[in-house]
Structure 1
Amino acid sequence: QAKARELGNQAFKLARQLETNQFNVALAGGPGVGKTSLALAIMYQLMNVGQTVMFVSTAELLRLVNEKYEAPDVRQRLLYILKDMQNVDCLVLDDFGTEGGKPTEKGFYKPVHKDLQTLMYQVANARCDFDHNEVKHITIITTNNTRKQL
């Protein structure tokens, strides 16, 4: 309980910092430790101070990318999602890295779907100001992966 309280306080302080400063956040750890809950709490705090927010499950995003070839309405829906992901004040990408699949016997991960990879690059590039080397919009990712795996 003490550790949970400490993490909750850190998330609250982080959310308060994000109200006036823009930077990106990565919440990493094993399954079920509360990364998504903390990301949602931060997102909720930012929404309460007037920032626009969006929560995206990368697994669901991959499902839509795979469906777009057979359903024209999904293609249009993805365009709207992409636009919002690029422009929202705070974007939470939940379970980032799971879209690459499980490791093979040799420890290698299946590559990310090319269309999803392109979409993620478009989002990442739109959320950065490369001329000033600054974050334009806050991005929070939750992941079970290690840095090496990502």
Structure 2
Amino acid sequence: MIKYTNQIKKRRTSKVLAKDSIITDSGLKDATFDNFEVDNDEQKQALHIAKQSAYQYLNKDNQFNTLLTGAPGRGKSHLALSMLKAVNNTSEKPQSCLFVSVDELFRRIKDSFNYSDNKYSEGNMVRLLTNVDLLVLDDLGSEASMNRDKSASDFVQKILFGILNARSRTIITTNLNAMELEAMYNPKLVSRMEKGVQGHLIKFTERTKDKRLVDF
């Protein structure tokens, strides 16, 4: 009975990261703090803040968001997933951790519209993302990239607001700066994104080069 109870507890906590995450970049799955490449002071500082934030997230009473910004290919998603793994693997009290690509999340929700029993229905996903102990929303803003006016749709904003309004521990990665976030999203939603980010902001500038670029 105890063994069965422990298995149920793991499915609801430490196994959530592997079971329910939506990771579209297969090369990201092996990301850890140990294999994050540090070539300059900016990356060194980013790694330090990420490790410090992950350590603080080990205590569920610590409630704050972490925001990672900067151009694509700088390592934002790598650090975000590394933070989740650190918490998932070392938290004394098991925590449910989840990594979700925002663009793919909304693709799957929209694909579920014609199937009432689809696991990716709006209701199911909002409940899952709301209730996990620590959540990564990866590449926020990509879901609105196809809109002509570059603003997020009312549908997207309603779901994101419902999730973030109910949360107090979320890690967000985005290619957008503060002005672009404010132009794309409702001020109330931006306010929820920025809850407690003081001291937990990781910003990559032009000093850090795109890690995905290949010389040819």
In structure 1, C-alpha distance between the alignment counterparts of 2:152 and 2:119, rounded to whole Å: 19
1:72 aligns with 2:140: no
Task: Give the structure 1 partner of residue 164 of structure 2.
Answer: 124
| TM-score normalised by structure 2 residue count | 0.57
Count of residue pairs the alignment pairs up: 137
Structure number with higher strand proportion: 1
* Partner-residue secondary structure (3-state), 2:173: strand
Q: Which secondary structure does the structure 1 equivalent of 2:88 belong to? A: helix
User: Cα distance, 1:61 vs. partner?
Assistant: 1.3
| Moved beyond 6 Å, runs of 4+ | none
User: Does structure 1 retain, via aligned residues, the 8 Å contact 2:108–2:120?
Assistant: no
Look up the SS of the partner of 1:118 in the other structure.
helix
**In the alignment, which residue of structure 2 is the partner of 1:30?**
71
How far the C-alpha of 1:102 sits from its partner, in A, is 5.3
User: How much identity, in percent, do the aligned residues show?
Assistant: 34
- Distance (Å, rounded) in 2 between the aligned partners of 1:35 and 1:42: 11
Q: Max radius of gyration: which structure?
A: 2
Aligned to 2:23: none
The aligned runs of 1:110-149 (5 Å cut-off) are 111-127=151-167, 135=168, 138-149=169-180
Amino acid at match of 2:49: Q
Aligned to 1:95, what secondary structure does the other structure show? strand
**Residue in 2 aligned with 1:90?**
134
Q: Aligned partners of 1:16, 1:25: CA distance in 2, in Å?
A: 12
Residues in 1 aligned to 2:147 and 2:74: alpha-carbon distance in whole angstroms: 21
Structure 1 residue 148 displacement after superposition? 0.9
CA–CA distance in 2 between the matches of 1:62 and 1:22?
Answer: 26
AA matched with 1:27: L
Gaps of at least 5 residues in structure 2 are 1-38, 182-216
Range with bigger deviation, 113-122 or 79-88: 113-122
Q: Is contact 1:64–1:74 with CA below 8 Å preserved after alignment?
A: no
The CA deviation at 1:78 is 3.4
CA RMSD of aligned residues (A): 2.0
